[in-house]
Amino acid sequence: MYVLGIETSCDETAAAVVDSQKKIYANIVLSQLETHEVYGGVVPEIAAREHLTHIDKVVQAAMKESGLGFDDLAGVAATSGPGLIGGVMIGMMTGKAIAASRDLPFVAVNHLEGHTLSARLSDDVDFPFLLLLVSGGHTALVEVAGVGHYVTLGTTLDDALGEMFDKSGKIMGLPYPGGPEIEKISIETKDPDFALERFPLPRPMKGRKEMNFSFSGLKTAVKNHVDKLPEGPLSRQDVADLAYALQETVGGVLKERCVRALSFMKDKYGKPVPLVIAGGVAANKRLRSILKDLAGDSAAELVAPPLALCSDNGAMIAWAGIERLRYDTPFDFDAPARPRWPLDYLTAQKT
């Protein structure tokens, strides 16, 4: 079963062709990073125009690379929310138009479900599992019991993790987006212990029983440290040390919250479950390695999709379409584009 997946909910225009045997035939991602860089963040109106300009050729390129024609497809899946509404409408309407013209099923995919199920495309991970979703717009711990069976155990009370990294990067004078830049420069720290000593950072919500996160205090603490440094541009070593301290602190916070959620899952299911990480921040190798320590004890295993499937892409949307088409033949032609669409309210498939 071949499915075309389209993703346009933020600043990537993406299309992919995937089959039900988990083979990715094409996964084209056109990033708008350079367009938005000068503004220090994604400008929704500009993003929508860029999607409109490029969506046709991105879909064409994916189809060409796959070597398939539209008539070979079993369905078309497109992100229908949550996200920046202009972009969502463009990708969704493109998907609907292709499906309607070939009389194919159209699957309206929730972007977060795309991230949630991405590890089942890259790895053989069975339900149930615990999902740590960390991206520019979302931070959540989710109990995943089956397709559509999602319960959010914890979320962020303020900034998403990627958003906090991006804002902190800006404060440190790093280019946008700050997340990958912080990872890159943190390696340059000369004395990791001294970096942690120089730049102590709070551990928001430490020891609290709930599974929520709070990251805006960390961003403020970064700003306070920067304000205390000598005036003028920061030295590369200062930035490296601060980036290192921030990344380690975040690693500690994620680990503590995951241990709590994994213990909840172990009690509920009577055995340790896999920990799956997804979303753009899951591309961070240091955070992956910190969370890997949980495997074997708290978690059955750590499953982290390859970097190309962590950040926004069409393959995860095509795959979510396949997971849904396995149970049902959704013809979601009347599905609306949704700026908000919480995971907990999706149609649950029978398990």
Phi, psi of 25 (to 5 degrees): -85, -30
Q: How far is the CB of 4 from ligand KG4 (least distance, A)?
A: 20
Q: Give whichever of 14 and 335 is closer to ligand KG4, judged by the CB atom.
A: 14
Q: Are 2 and 72 in contact (CB under 8 A)?
A: yes
Q: Give whichever of 80 and 249 is closer to Zn ion, judged by the CB atom.
A: 80
Q: Give whichever of 58 and 265 is closer to Zn ion, judged by the CB atom.
A: 58
In the sheet that 2-7 helps form, which strands lie side by side, from edge to edge? 24-31, 12-19, 2-7, 73-81, 106-110
Q: How far is the CB of 98 from Zn ion (least distance, A)?
A: 22
Q: How far is the CB of 339 from Zn ion (least distance, A)?
A: 14
**Residue at 222: amino acid letter:** V
Helix (H, G, I), strand (E, B) or coil at 100: helix
Q: Which stretch binds ligand KG4 (CB under 6 A): 61-69, 148-156, 179-187, 328-336?
A: 179-187
Site membership for ligand KG4, residue 13 (CB under 6 A): no
Q: Are 161 and 213 in contact (CB under 8 A)?
A: yes
Site membership for ligand KG4, residue 281 (CB under 6 A): yes
**Residue where the block lists tokens 């991970």:** 125
Site membership for ligand KG4, residue 10 (CB under 6 A): yes
Window 17-56: residues binding ligand KG4 (CB under 6 A): none
Q: In whole angstroms, give the CA distance from residue 97 to residue 90.
A: 11
Which member of 32, 80, 110, 135 binds Zn ion (CB under 5 A)? Answer: 135
CB neighbours (10 Å) of residue 236? Answer: 10
Question: How many residues make contact with ligand KG4 (CB under 6 A)?
Answer: 19
Which member of 238, 312, 323, 332 binds Zn ion (CB under 5 A)? Answer: 312
Q: List the end-to-end C-alpha distance of the chain, in Å, as a whole number.
A: 21
Site membership for ligand KG4, residue 332 (CB under 6 A): no
Closest CA to 215 of 136, 157, 299: 157
Helix (H, G, I), strand (E, B) or coil at 182: helix
Tell me, residue by residue from 285 to 324, as one string, x for binding to ligand KG4 by CB under 6 A and - for no binding.
Answer: --------------------------xx------------
Helices (runs of H) and strands (runs of E) counted in the chain? 12, 10
Per-residue tokens: 39: 């503004």
Q: Give whichever of 87 and 279 is closer to ligand KG4, judged by the CB atom.
A: 279
Site membership for Zn ion, residue 80 (CB under 5 A): no
Tell me, residue by residue from 182 to 201, as one string, x for binding to ligand KG4 by CB under 6 A and - for no binding.
Answer: -x------------------
Q: Could you tell me the CA-to-CA distances from 204 to 2, 43, 246 in Å, in that order? A: 45, 30, 12
Q: In whole angstroms, give the CA distance from residue 342 to residue 160.
A: 15
Give, as one character, the DSSP assignment of residue 295.
B
Task: Classify residue 46 by burial, with Cβ atoms within 10 Å: 0-12, 13-18, 19+.
Answer: middle
Site membership for ligand KG4, residue 81 (CB under 6 A): no
Q: Which stretch binds Zn ion (CB under 5 A): 130-138, 143-151, 161-169, 248-256?
A: 130-138
Q: Give whichever of 78 and 294 is closer to Zn ion, judged by the CB atom.
A: 78
Q: Could you list the residues that contact ligand KG4 (CB under 6 A)?
A: 10, 135-137, 162, 165-166, 177-180, 183, 279-281, 283-284, 311-312
Q: Could you list the residues that contact Zn ion (CB under 5 A)?
A: 135, 312
